[in-house]
Amino acid sequence: MEDSKNVIFGRNPVVEAIKGNREIEKLYVSKTAGGNIAKIIKMARDRNIIVSTADSNTLDKLSDGKNHQGVVAVCSVYKYCEIDDILSFAKAKNEKPFLLLLDGITDTHNLGAIIRTAEAFGVHGIIIPRRRAAGVNSTVVKTSAGATEYVKIAKVSNINIAIKKLKEEGIWIVGSSIDSKTDFDKADYTLPIAIVIGSEGEGMAELTQKNCDFIVKIPMTGRINSLNASVAASLMMFEVVRQRNK
């Protein structure tokens, strides 16, 4: 169950939260709700908020048994930044940008582990999509061991538009695929770099892969030909630090 302090319920409070651009991770609506619920759903979708139908038991649990009127909004525990904030942070440190782009990480434990490792390796910021991906919630905060307090995270409507912006800023985009012929330690990470980590099950989306400047692979000799997303991210982040500290 979501942390109750991050939940808004009731039709008017939810409408005001949407109007006020509150960072909402997901909107839950009753399967049988009527009245102005369609208007609330449209407002949410116009702002790229994920909308999910739920039964009464789920809504009761989310609202701690209070009068939810068929709608519950789960809000972020984290204040997201903009991509420009991440780039400004790197510039202020007089360092070449080092970013992560997470293309559809849905497991909150994976996201928390990636954030924890990113903080340890000096990543300037992480970019995640608004839809079909995990956001920073209480589980992520806990799994990150508090690293969410120190890592800048931007949430964007479209990963590929974010990639285009980074390229315009002179940042090279590196993705990974088991089909690549180039081992991950052969890329030049001394350049301004953004590493793309694909989703747990499907990897990078096809369009995201096409927009990468380099595609590399992590060589494996075992029978299982894929790594957990947070482990793959850790290996690639370590290689960036290794090359930059030669």
Q: Where do the domains of the chain lie?
A: 4-75, 83-244
Q: What is the architecture of the domain spanning 4-75?
A: 2-Layer Sandwich (3.30)
CB-hemisphere CA count at 13 Å for 108? 14
Q: 182 to each of 11, 202, 236, how far by Cα in Å?
A: 53, 20, 13
Instruction: Write down how long the chain is.
Output: 246
The fold for domain 83-244 equals: Alpha/beta knot (3.40.1280)
> pLDDT tens, 56-82?
999 999 988 888 999 999 987 788 999
Q: 110 to each of 5, 114, 183, 223, how far by Cα in Å?
A: 23, 6, 23, 22
Six-digit token string for 32: 């049988």
Exposure string over 36-57, b if 16+ CB within 10 A, otherwise e: ebeebbebbeeeebbbeebeee
Same topology between domain 4-75 and domain 83-244: no
pLDDT by 10s per residue, the chain, length 246 = 444 457 889 998 899 888 887 788 889 999 888 788 999 999 999 988 889 999 999 999 998 888 899 999 998 778 899 999 999 999 999 999 999 999 989 999 999 999 999 999 999 999 999 888 888 887 888 899 889 889 999 999 899 999 999 999 999 999 988 888 999 999 999 999 999 998 877 788 899 999 999 999 988 877 766 778 999 999 999 999 999 998
> pLDDT tens, 17-39?
888 877 888 899 998 887 889 99
| pTM (whole model) above 0.85 | no
